[in-house]
Amino acid sequence: MISCRVIITKTMLKVVLAVLLTGTITLLFLSYSSEYFLYQSLQEEDDAEFMRRFDESVEPFLNGTNDLSLEVFDWWKALQPIEEQTLDSYQTVVESLLKTFPTISKRPERWRKCAVVGNSPNLKGSHYGRLIDSHDMVMRMNQGQIKSYEEDVGTKTTHRLMYPESAQNLDDNTHLVLTPYKIMDLVWLQKAFTTGYVGTIRNLAPYKIQANKNLVMVINPGFIAYVYHTWMGKREHKYPSTGFLAVILALHTCEEVSVFGFGADSDGNWTHYWEKKKYKNLGTGLHYGKLEYFMIEQLAAREKIYFFKKSSPITKDLPM
């Protein structure tokens, strides 16, 4: 009797294991094949179809005239739901921001040759510094370092994209470009230039920031939504990284775009060129790194941008 029960239990265990295994394999297969078809279909689009994503009517920068629809606002506020956010409170914050930074409402010039510099370790040993510095506009982001890396990343920065948790002080000639992921980011910007910021993100964001107040720019949350919906095909639970936003921003504001320093390490982590790997399973965070990289590759394949992928010696063919 006892041995019969043992046999039944063992058989049940085997069945459960077999079901679990089959389920896992099926899920893996489905997710792999849906990814495969996604990339395949993107690749098969002709240039006109691919570039239909480009919508010139979307304002990249917040300037006081770009009202958000409730739908876009609801999407944006769900990115980092750490606070009570309403469309009214957003509008109030924007109005007061425009008073502190009147130059925000000025339409920025169009740049000729732009370099977008991401923070990938593939910049190490690249000797791209001189090439990067030859651009009229050099966009860097977050904590991207320069000192001790000049040979590979250059020295010039005309624009630095950042959010409060990644902020750093800037010199007087660099544009601070805020990428707001929540209303609190806008509040932080205003306070960090005036009274000092004390609030929810205080332990991650600086109390004060040094930068030229007249060169402050703010990405329009509607532009972030556009990049997500149009360029990333609404991949759920993810939103565009600062770097991908910068690439599409450059596409909208520059005549010629060169992209440097993008690409995860061999384990799929977004590590940085100035750091030793900190976390083993960092991945690409809340961003769909693989898709973003693929879209950048597609833009390059369709000759909309230059993409400097890996460290390679500079040749005469590079657009100096």
Q: Evaluate whether 151 touches 133 at the Cβ level (below 8 Å).
A: no
- The partner residues of 17 in beta bridges, in order of sequence, read none
Tokens standing for residue 121: 């370790």
**In terms of CB distance, is 83 or 165 closer to ligand C5P?**
165
Active site residue 239: yes
Q: Evaluate whether 201 touches 163 at the Cβ level (below 8 Å).
A: no
Footprint of ligand C5P on this chain (CB under 6 A)? 118-120, 141-143, 241-244, 262-264, 270-272
Active site residue 229: no
**In terms of CB distance, is 141 or 186 closer to ligand C5P?**
141
**Backbone CA torsion sign across 225, 228, 234, 235:** negative
CA-wise closest residue to 119 among 155, 153, 150: 153
CA distance 158 to 122: 22
Q: Which residue is nearest to ligand C5P (CB)?
A: 243
Please, what is the minimum distance in Å from the beta carbon of residue 311 to ligand C5P?
13
**In terms of CB distance, is 141 or 170 closer to ligand C5P?**
141
Please, what is the minimum distance in Å from the beta carbon of residue 86 to ligand C5P?
29
**In terms of CB distance, is 111 or 262 closer to ligand C5P?**
262
Q: Evaluate whether 207 touches 197 at the Cβ level (below 8 Å).
A: yes
Please, what is the minimum distance in Å from the beta carbon of residue 106 to ligand C5P?
27
Please, what is the minimum distance in Å from the beta carbon of residue 277 to ligand C5P?
10
* Catalytic, out of 239, 273, 288, 293: 239
* Catalytic, out of 175, 273, 287, 293: 287
CA distance 315 to 211: 36
Active site residues: 239, 287
